[in-house]
Amino acid sequence: MKKAIYLLLVSMLFVTACTEQAPRIAKYTDLYAVKGTDSLFLDRYTAVSVEQDDARPCLVFVFGGGFIAGERDAERYLPFFHYMVNQGYDVVSIDYRLGLKQVVASGDLSPENMMLGMTRTISMAVEDLYDATAFIVDKADEWGIDSSQIVACGSSAGAITVLHGEYALCNASPLVQHLPAGFRYAGIVSFAGAIFEMGEELRWASQPAPMMLFHGDADANVPYNVIRESGVGFFGSKYIAGQLRAMNSPYYFYSVENASHVIATAPMDGNRDAIDAFLSKLVVDKEPLMIETDETTIGAPEVRKNFTLAEYIASNFL
């Protein structure tokens, strides 16, 4: 009997300690920009029950949805946001304009029309990412954020946006004027993203921030490697990782064999340890590392891995 009571007390103390370790998370919503008829908001998730003397790093998140749909506070993202807050980050999830909605609504999904629409759409999304980032930097002192430790993170279309955001910064795009002078992201986390660019190759005028790239090699929505058509390239994570290696630029490429576009969200729950390692080693400690992980499920059947541009369009919009 005494032993049972003792074990009960120990269990209660353990539960209490665990509960006390998890800070209460508050969500604040702000309007950061108005673009025509679009009012763009951001949600900031932050710990409120723990005293923090030092400014906190910040993860800016851009949701997925093919540039036609999606929500900054979608239920599937919230556990990841809360986890990152418990790791000491503020998480800011942003709206951005969904530029392909009108293109898809027109009914003309020809590769030519979609390529034109993608160029305009990505520029809009990057501009909105930059404006949201500038808003965060402006509020950094008030919010207790370290503006030198802002990491851009995105899923699918959001991953395309953050990769393009870093690519534009490295190449001094005119869009960079939307950012504070001299600003650079501390790191990039891409869940199944790619860079859509005119020309046969990507060209980096300066070295990018450390990047973490997740991708499945059977992704039918966003190219895993590269597809070129009519003078335009869609450069996926494997291709980008190869360029980063050639540049001796720090990166972490996590490749999953026979995995589909599920990698646009799955690592937020299943690969948090890898994300923690990337942020700790490559972003915070600035270790000059190039890491590649290949995940294979033994006995899994081989699936199709090569797709045409028309098939990528069909997977996303038909």
Q: How far apart are alpha carbons 146 and 114 in whole angstroms?
A: 39
pLDDT in tens, 63-100: 999 999 999 999 999 999 999 999 999 999 999 999 99
Instruction: State residue 52's pLDDT score.
Output: 65
Q: Which of 317, 211, 300 is nearest to 259 (CA)?
A: 300
Whether this prediction's pTM lies above 0.75 is answered by yes
Q: Where are the domains of the chain?
A: 26-317
Structure token digits, residue 171: 């190449």
Instruction: State residue 22's pLDDT score.
Output: 64
Task: Say which CATH class 26-317 falls into.
Answer: alpha beta
Q: Which of 183, 227, 214 is nearest to 291 (CA)?
A: 214
Instruction: State residue 2's pLDDT score.
Output: 40
Which stretches of the chain score pLDDT less than 70? 1-22, 49-52, 318
Instruction: State residue 13's pLDDT score.
Output: 38
Paired with 292 in beta bridges are 253
CA 215 to each of CA 4, 12, 64, 171: distance values in angstroms, whole numbers, following the listed order: 50, 42, 14, 24
Structure token digits, residue 127: 């501009």
Residue 282: CB atoms within 10 Å: 23
Instruction: State residue 114's pLDDT score.
Output: 84
Please enumerate in sequence order all residues whose Cβ is within 8 A of that of 311, keeping only pairs 6 or more positions apart, or say none. 220
Please enumerate in sequence order all residues whose Cβ is within 8 A of that of 157, keeping only pairs 6 or more positions apart, or say none. 62, 63, 64, 65, 66, 67, 70, 125
Packing angle, helices 111-143 and 309-317, rounded to 10: 60
Contact 226, 299 (CB under 8 A): no
